[in-house]
């Protein structure tokens, strides 16, 4: 159910497109992002990423001023690119636009072509331009569109035995977990993007401007010859799907599955891997699945009391909603800042969601979310840390998940995917409900209900 009668966003439940691009490009080996726009945009992205991942994050900016805004930002962009190459010596530069650059009509494809033709220092560098006006979508679209542009720019026709995995916006620890699952199938793969080290690097005395790790250019090239693609993104529009491009351009079979959170979604991911490899899951995975079933039985009696508001980027909201539905929690409110009609459509189709029990809002803000949270008698919030002010004002606890988590450590290490990750996450949700119950049951029993 969409609520469209206000045009003003108060605390939007989203970030802008270049934010998603910044995360995607951090997963490419020796890559740096150049943001064509005013300086504040790159500061905003760096601040979000540095407090969530607890890593130093460098993002270059063309620092458009009044002059560049009026006469065009060509000189700023080219000077910025020269400085960036000298300072960082990257292999890849993602060049993304911002609100300002798009509004003044900057043609970054042309500017980059000119720069490459003019500058000797640019000849060994791969440039990947992506149009990401801040107002053109959210971090969700910016993230997936950047992956698609990388593949469009680099993937080559060929034939190899690899499987492409297009990862959703997961944590570095979750990317490590995906790799463990892939390795348990003994397959060779291209994982795009790979932030497992670049945004969660081991301690080192020497500062590296561009940390080790990330998907290599050669891996992206070989995606054009892989035997299959598994894309983690159930709600994705085809226009921003890298897997769709690989299927259309190179006829690579595409399996699109949800982020593997919750029993059904993890099963679908594992089944897709079994299908493309022809191999059975490792016994350790089967055991972990059995433990998950056991954990679900253990906690279901407590979860029936849960009425959850789930918010964040659409893929995460979808997968967490399914985890709730599998475990008897009512997903009373599902909210995302992106525009999508697929959330409701898929939840009805795949999980028999009864829409009369659930309000679904897209393109929304936290003011609207808070209204619904109170109207719908929600007793647990599940989402990123921007929802914490509802906890502060209304006392409803927040289980933190997704991006960004600014007010806790460990956002980059959180694992909610796979059977074991889902169990830990479910335990956290159940224990939050128990905590709330035990901290208020005397008051509920005597003060609210006893009228004698």
Nearer to ligand SF4, 41 or 151 (CB): 41
Kindly tell me which residue out of 13, 14, 18, 90 binds ligand SF4, with binding defined by CB under 6 A: 18
Distance CA 102, CA 336 (A): 25
Nearer to ligand SF4, 98 or 215 (CB): 98
Q: How many CA atoms, within 13 angstroms, populate the side-chain half-sphere of residue 52? A: 25
Residue nearest to ligand SF4 (CB): 134
Nearer to ligand SF4, 18 or 211 (CB): 18
Distance CA 59, CA 65 (A): 18
Kindly tell me which residue out of 25, 44, 144, 318 binds ligand SF4, with binding defined by CB under 6 A: 44
Q: Phi/psi class of residue 63: alpha, beta or left (left: φ > 0; alpha: ψ in -120 to 50)?
A: left
Q: How far is the CB of 452 from ligand SF4 (least distance, A)?
A: 57
Q: How far is the CB of 99 from ligand SF4 (least distance, A)?
A: 3
Distance CA 439, CA 433 (A): 10
Q: How many residues bind ligand SF4 (CB under 6 A)?
A: 8
Distance CA 140, CA 147 (A): 11
Q: Which residues on neighbouring strands pair with residue 32, listed in sequence order? A: 93
Kindly tell me which residue out of 98, 171, 299, 364 binds ligand SF4, with binding defined by CB under 6 A: 98
Q: How far is the CB of 80 from ligand SF4 (least distance, A)?
A: 16
Encoded tokens for 221: 């090239």
Encoded tokens for 434: 């128990």
Kindly tell me which residue out of 92, 99, 234, 346 binds ligand SF4, with binding defined by CB under 6 A: 99
Nearer to ligand SF4, 36 or 370 (CB): 36
Q: Which residues contact 368 (CB under 8 A, 6 or more apart)?
A: 3, 6, 335, 361
Q: How far is the CB of 41 from ligand SF4 (least distance, A)?
A: 3
Q: How far is the CB of 18 from ligand SF4 (least distance, A)?
A: 5
Q: How far is the CB of 120 from ligand SF4 (least distance, A)?
A: 31
Nearer to ligand SF4, 269 or 366 (CB): 366
Nearer to ligand SF4, 134 or 314 (CB): 134
Distance CA 366, CA 135 (A): 18
The residue assigned the tokens 């796979």 is: 418
- CA end-to-end span of the chain, whole Å? 42
Q: How far is the CB of 35 from ligand SF4 (least distance, A)?
A: 8
Q: Do residues 12 and 367 make contact, with C-beta atoms less than 8 angstroms apart?
A: no
In this chain, which stretch among 37-45, 107-115, 348-356, 382-390 interacts with ligand SF4, using CB under 6 A?
A: 37-45
CB neighbourhood size of 207 (10 A): 7
Q: How far is the CB of 388 from ligand SF4 (least distance, A)?
A: 21
Q: Which of 170, 305, 173, 276 is nearest to 232 (CA)?
A: 170
Nearer to ligand SF4, 14 or 26 (CB): 14
Encoded tokens for 82: 């020269």
Residue 20 found at the interface with ligand SF4 (CB under 6 A): no
Nearer to ligand SF4, 61 or 277 (CB): 61
Kindly tell me which residue out of 134, 211, 214, 233 binds ligand SF4, with binding defined by CB under 6 A: 134
Q: How far is the CB of 13 from ligand SF4 (least distance, A)?
A: 14
Nearer to ligand SF4, 77 or 99 (CB): 99
Cis preceding-peptide flag for 193 (omega within 30 of 0): yes
User: In the 8-state DSSP scheme, what is residue 365?
Assistant: B
Distance CA 393, CA 309 (A): 15
Distance CA 343, CA 334 (A): 9
Kindly tell me which residue out of 13, 16, 59, 415 binds ligand SF4, with binding defined by CB under 6 A: 16
DSSP 96-135: EE-HHHHHTT--HHHHHHHHHHH-GGGTT-EEEEE---GG
Q: How far is the CB of 115 from ligand SF4 (least distance, A)?
A: 22
In this chain, which stretch among 36-44, 73-81, 239-247, 440-448 interacts with ligand SF4, using CB under 6 A?
A: 36-44
Kindly tell me which residue out of 22, 41, 155, 261 binds ligand SF4, with binding defined by CB under 6 A: 41
Q: How far is the CB of 192 from ligand SF4 (least distance, A)?
A: 24
The residue assigned the tokens 């335990």 is: 427
Nearer to ligand SF4, 39 or 341 (CB): 39
Q: Which of 323, 343, 340 is nearest to 331 (CA)?
A: 323
Q: Do residues 307 and 380 make contact, with C-beta atoms less than 8 angstroms apart?
A: yes
Nearer to ligand SF4, 14 or 289 (CB): 14
Distance CA 81, CA 118 (A): 12
Residues near ligand SF4 (CB under 6 A): 16, 18, 37, 41, 44, 98-99, 134
């Amino acid at each position: 159910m969409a609520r469209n009668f206000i045009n003003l966003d108060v605390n939007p439940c989203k970030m802008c497109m270049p934010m998603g691009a910044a995360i995607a490009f951090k997963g490419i080996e020796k890559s740096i992002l150049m943001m064509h726009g005013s300086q504040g945009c790159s500061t905003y992205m760096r601040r979000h990423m540095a407090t969530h991942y607890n890593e130093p994050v460098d993002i270059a900016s063309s620092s458009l001023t009044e002059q560049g805004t009026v006469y065009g930002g060509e000189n700023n962009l080219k000077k910025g690119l020269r400085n960036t190459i000298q300072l960082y010596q990257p292999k890849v530069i993602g060049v993304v636009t911002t609100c300002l650059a798009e509004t003044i009509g900057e043609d970054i494809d042309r500017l980059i072509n000119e720069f490459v033709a003019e500058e000797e220092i640019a000849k060994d560098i791969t440039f990947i331009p992506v149009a990401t006006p801040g107002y053109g979508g959210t971090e969700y679209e910016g993230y997936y569109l950047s992956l698609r542009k990388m593949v469009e720019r680099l993937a080559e026709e060929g034939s190899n035995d690899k499987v492409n995995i297009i990862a959703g916006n997961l944590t570095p620890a979750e990317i490590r977990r995906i790799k463990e699952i892939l390795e348990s199938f003994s397959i060779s793969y291209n994982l795009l993007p790979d932030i497992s080290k670049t945004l969660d690097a081991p301690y080192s005395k020497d500062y590296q401007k561009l940390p080790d790790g990330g998907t290599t250019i050669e891996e992206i090239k070989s995606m054009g010859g892989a035997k299959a693609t598994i894309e983690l993104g159930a709600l994705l529009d085809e226009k921003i799907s890298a897997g769709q491009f690989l299927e259309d351009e190179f006829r690579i079979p595409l399996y699109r599955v949800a982020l593997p959170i919750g029993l059904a979604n993890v099963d679908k991911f594992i089944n897709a891997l079994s299908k493309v490899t022809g191999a059975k899951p490792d016994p350790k995975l089967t055991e972990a699945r059995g433990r998950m079933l056991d954990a679900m039985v253990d906690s279901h009696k407590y979860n029936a009391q849960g009425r959850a508001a789930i918010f964040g980027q659409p893929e995460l909201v979808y997968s967490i909603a399914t985890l709730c539905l599998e475990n008897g929690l009512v997903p009373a409110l599902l909210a995302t800042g992106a525009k999508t009609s697929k959330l409701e459509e898929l939840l009805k189709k795949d999980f028999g969601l009864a829409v009369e029990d659930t309000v679904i809002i897209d393109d929304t803000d936290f003011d609207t979310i808070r209204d619904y949270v109170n109207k719908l008698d929600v007793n647990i919030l599940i989402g990123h840390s921007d929802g914490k002010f509802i906890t502060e004002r209304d006392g409803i606890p927040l289980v933190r998940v997704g991006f960004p988590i600014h007010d806790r450590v460990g956002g980059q290490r959180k694992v909610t995917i796979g059977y074991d990750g889902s169990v830990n996450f479910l335990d956290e949700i159940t224990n939050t409900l128990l905590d709330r119950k035990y901290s208020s049951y005397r008051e509920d029993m005597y003060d609210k209900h006893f009228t004698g």
